[in-house]
Copies of this chain bind each other. A is one copy, B any other.
Amino acid sequence: MTAQDIRRPPVHPTRLAFALVGWVLLCFAAATMGGFFPPGEWYAALKKPSWNPPGWVFGPVWTALYTMMAVAAWLVWKRGGFAAQRRPLTLFLVQLALNALWTPLFFGLHWPGAAFAEITLLWLAIAATTAAFRPVSRAAVWLLVPYLAWVSFAAGLNFTLWRLNS
């Protein structure tokens, strides 16, 4: 417990629980984009690198990543809400909107070039979010590390699929 925690009045447990549910719902709203675009014939027909993961990997990975993302945002939100954590939570929402945008660009419109440009912005937004979470909650940072790692990998895969198929 830090000096900051002592100064801050405790948040009611019910409010904490509702907030956690809220962050999970918001993150899974972004996740529904993935549900709209199951990889279809277009994706199946793409030339793929040898290290392209099998299709069944993506669902469970993203479910875990969205859950960790929601918990990370909630851990930061707990420390004084939006009023106190405006910048880190804003960056979090920016990365969430960019995350929601990638799937329709890649799997919907079949624009791997535009999707690659977009995922580099997403990577920067996640990196900025992680940096902004650092002074607030170390646990939140660790919860975002797998996400940043996966998006780095996904960006590499997006780039490779774009170059192999253009």
Contacts and interface: CB of A to CB of B under 8 A. Distances in A.
Interface of A: 25-26, 29-30, 32-33, 36-37, 82, 86-87, 89-91, 93-94, 96-98, 100-101, 104-105, 108-109
- Highest count of chain B CB atoms <10 Å: which of A86, A87, A108: A108
B89 A97 contact: no
A51 B69 CA distance: 40
Contact of A33 (B86, B93, B105, B109): B93
Main secondary structure of the interface of A (DSSP, over half): helix
Contacts of A91: 104, 109
For this chain, the copies found in one complex come to 2
Nearest to A37: B90
30 contacts: A25-B29, A29-B29, A29-B30, A33-B93, A33-B97, A36-B82, A36-B90, A36-B93, A37-B90, A87-B108, A87-B109, A90-B104, A90-B108, A90-B109, A91-B109, A93-B104, A93-B108, A94-B101, A94-B104, A94-B105, A94-B108, A94-B109, A96-B100, A97-B97, A97-B98, A97-B100, A97-B101, A97-B104, A100-B100, A101-B101
Contacts of A89: 36
Given A94-B104, A94-B105, A100-B100, 19 more contacts: A29-B30, A33-B93, A33-B97, A36-B82, A36-B93, A37-B90, A86-B108, A87-B108, A87-B109, A90-B104, A90-B109, A91-B104, A93-B108, A94-B109, A97-B98, A97-B100, A97-B101, A97-B104, A98-B101
A33 B93 CA distance: 8
